A and B are shown apart, each in its own frame.
Chain A
Amino acid sequence: MAAAAKTRGEDRVAIYRLGLWLFMGSESFLFLALLFSRFYLQGVQRPAELNQPLGLVISIVLLLSSLSAYRGETCAVYGDQAGFRRNILVTIGLGFLFLVGVGIEWSEGFHFFPPSTGFGTVFFTLTGFHAFHVLTGVLALAAVLVRGRKVQYGPGSYWAVEGAVKYWHFVDVAWVFIYPTLYLVS
């Protein structure tokens, strides 16, 4: 494949990178539609029962995970397999921690603003869609981790890691918009 691509002057990594950007661009319209729906249906109103400390903590957890993801990517770029593995594992762990936090928030939410109420509808939908994306991000990171057992990442051959980490950042940025929309506006 590499040989055939080279004779045609194709830069496969540039193509993959463009593809990922296009995909994330498309996904951002999904989140845009969800954010729009929150304001369209509920304006800026928000119940007092939202667990603010928890919301803040899981946001910090997710931001931290972007940091470790970035470190994992850098390790892969320089061919440091152990550092790559360690940092990506930490990222996956933080991702799960975030999901647990959302789970706790959900169980409280069922009590105070169940999904059959106005705020509950938008809250559960937005967090649910985002959590699903976090899950896919965890799967992507796990996939590059598993592939890393057979394949050495290093200078010039780290696209897989870069792609998964870029997607992880994307999911993170989505939360940066969702968190204030649900927890802070009023």
Chain B
Amino acid sequence: MRTLLSLGLLKGVIAGLAGTAVGMALTMVVRSALGYPAWQPDQVTLAGTLVGIPAYLAGVGAFSAWWGWVLGKGIEEPGGHHFWGWTRYFGADPNHKVIGIQYMATSLVVIAVAGIYQLIARLETSQPGLQFLSPDTYNSLMSLHGIMMLGAVLLGVSGMINYLVPLMIGARDMAFPRLNAFSYWITVPAVFLLLFALPAGGFDTGWTGYPPLSTKAPLGMQLMILAFYLVGWSSILGGVNFLATIMKMRAPGMGLFRMPIFVWTALATAFLQIVFTQFVGIAFLMVLLQRVLGLGFFDPAKGGNVLLFQHLFWLYSHPAVYIFVLPGLGVISEIVPVFSRKPLFGYRLVALSSFGIALQGAIVWGHHMFTAGIEEWLRIPFMVTTMLVAVPTGVKIFSWLATMWHGKISLDTPMLFALTAIAVFLVGGLTGIPNGIVPTDLYIHDTYWVVAHFHHTLFGGFVFPAMAAIYFWFPKVTGRLLNRGLGKLHWALMTVGFFVTYEPMFWLGLNGMRRRIADYDPALGLGPMNTVVSVAAYVIALSMLVFFVNLVASAWRGTRAPANPWRSRTLEWQLSSPPPEHNFPTPPQVLGSPYGFGIPGSVHAVVTPAGGAGEEKGGLGRVSSG
């Protein structure tokens, strides 16, 4: 009971609930004092969250170090405590590995909930006619599925970057450990808000929240906006942290062009996060201001214009797709050389391609608005800039293929997931071309073609790579191996389930299946194919179940992992599994490329093992080639 009460999370939730209640009560008192009816859902809940979230953060302990600093104390060494008790994971802990695991675990929980929402919705669309959901409930489930999945992707991306980047560049932690903890802990109320959105009436706008619909949608909309805003700030502050870490905390000798590709992708991702997230933040705040205070941004009668929202929204949300996928593509670039025992092909170009993608991504947002009343003369320029993305992504795909060419490929679970990811991402990229070309887009916009396309990019760029990453780095994180048989079963079910779910959606889209609808015309003859899609969706769910069982069982009783089970060369593998509290007792000395597999005499780094204990666990001195 003591330990339970000492958990930051519990203290935070109690303080947060109390704060919310106070905020809501105060507003209602003020409202009735001014002669308005006390209850106005948008205003009252907004005030509640404005008080509740800071109260919650204070309860968690996210402010305490800063407060002490103001009062004149020094900021103690990050992670001064050296225990590995489970309670660490439920409070504001500044260690980047703890925070990485917190992000990843939260991400998996949100993915599970969002997946369940869509599984329910798929039951509804497996046949024409309304089965058991009202159109509004369907739309709420579909919208929440979308926004929660994307939130989970952002969390997963932060999780991977947090855990891996400091290790890979030979740093002892992130540049700003407290800010890092803060960035994680503001996402937890966002998750709660999203969970409350359904009981609060949901919202029927899809994940994009376009006005004018979003200015009139039920209270659930507002909770979604607040959640989006919190996750956005987590993303911005995380980006500041990642950039500062990568630019300033690299070990001696770790020049930019000796960094693993994953670090390069993290750098490009962080750049996108700090530049573009502000746009979507302000777009959603405008919706909020119109809902709560009656401002006129999107109301033509008050001089507003809904296109403003679309511009600001896509100015973020197109680059955001690269925030979602770049780290995943980086994971593929890490895994492919290790399991092919060959150097990564075209390292420099691949490293720069992430920045190519990031810069190109900044000038294409209008392709989402071809059908939505964008200024006519803007269509062709946006179409042309959109096509340019083929160059940097092509670089990546060719690099993976060339790396595998004539390699000694071993098809272990991480590699299997990476291979599926490449195939799926390729299809996603190719099917995006018709979306970017104005005449074809006019036809397929808002159909299941688009749904199929972006699930390919998201599964190929995030889900499959994230699974590959978990199978690859799980031994490093926990010191135990994931079960290989279950892993391969997971891979097989998920790969088959994926293709059977999403390839038919292209056909459905071309044949007139609109997206975001609970019902469709039986005369279109789309029923049987929709049934196939729904059944296959449950196969994906089954594969995830296998995965969760594997995670829990292996963390608990899996085979002990050696320090470097995959014979990788990057720095994190030269430490014990799991790595010591502050990673490297003395900074490693970096001498060469991380990918020199099979090159005689090639050395990535010299790592001095942690005093004694590290040595026997295999904290190698020299990393040999091979």
Q: Which residues of A contact B (CB under 8 A)?
A: 1, 4, 7-11, 14-15, 18-19, 22-23, 25-27, 29-30, 33-34, 37, 40-42, 115-121, 124-125, 143, 146-147, 149-151
Contact = CB atoms under 8 A, between A and B. Distances in A.
14 contacts: A10-B248, A14-B248, A18-B175, A26-B277, A27-B278, A29-B278, A33-B278, A37-B282, A41-B304, A118-B296, A121-B295, A121-B302, A121-B304, A150-B72
B173 to A, nearest CB: 10
Contacts of B475: none
Nearest to B290: A121
Interface stretch (B73-81, B191-199, B514-522): B73-81
Contacts of B311: 40
B175 A19 contact: yes
A19 B176 contact: yes
Given A41-B305, A116-B295, A117-B296, A26 B278 contact: yes
B71 interface: yes
A118 B47 CA distance: 25
A151 B69 CA distance: 10
B240 A4 contact: no
B312 interface: yes
Given A18-B247, A33-B278, A125-B286, A1 B75 contact: yes
B282 A117 contact: no
A7 B586 contact: yes
Interface string B300-335: 001111001001100000000000000000000000
A115 B289 CA distance: 10
Nearest to B277: A26
B34 to A, nearest CB: 15
A33 B282 contact: yes
A116 B304 contact: no
Given A18-B244, A29-B278, A119 B303 contact: yes
Nearest to A22: B240
Nearest to B237: A23
Contacts of B70: 143, 146-147
A25 B308 CA distance: 23
Contacts, number: 114
A41 B281 contact: no
Interface in B172-200: 172, 175-176, 179
A160 B257 CA distance: 34
Given A15-B248, A30-B281, A9 B587 contact: yes
A19 B72 contact: no
Interface in B145-193: 172, 175-176, 179
Interface string B237-255: 0011101100111001000
B236 interface: yes
B303 A41 contact: yes
Interface string B499-541: 0000000000000000000000000000000000000000000
Contacts of A19: 175-176, 179, 240-241, 244
Q: Which of B76, B241, B252, B302 has the most CB atoms of chain A within a 10 A radius of its CB?
A: B302
A147 B248 CA distance: 27
A23 B240 contact: yes
What 3 A-B pairs are tightest by C-beta distance, nearest first? A118-B303, A150-B72, A26-B274
A18 B304 CA distance: 38
Contacts of B252: 9
Given A19-B176, A121-B302, 9 more contacts: A8-B172, A18-B248, A22-B239, A22-B244, A26-B239, A37-B286, A118-B303, A118-B304, A121-B297
B236 A26 contact: yes
B297 A147 contact: no
B276 interface: yes
A150 to B, nearest CB: 3
A146 B66 CA distance: 13
A64 to B, nearest CB: 26
Contacts of B244: 15, 18-19, 22
Contacts of A121: 295-297, 302-304
Contacts of B275: 25-26, 29
A160 to B, nearest CB: 8
B346 interface: no
Q: Which of B172, B275, B278, B289 has the most CB atoms of chain A within a 10 A radius of its CB?
A: B278
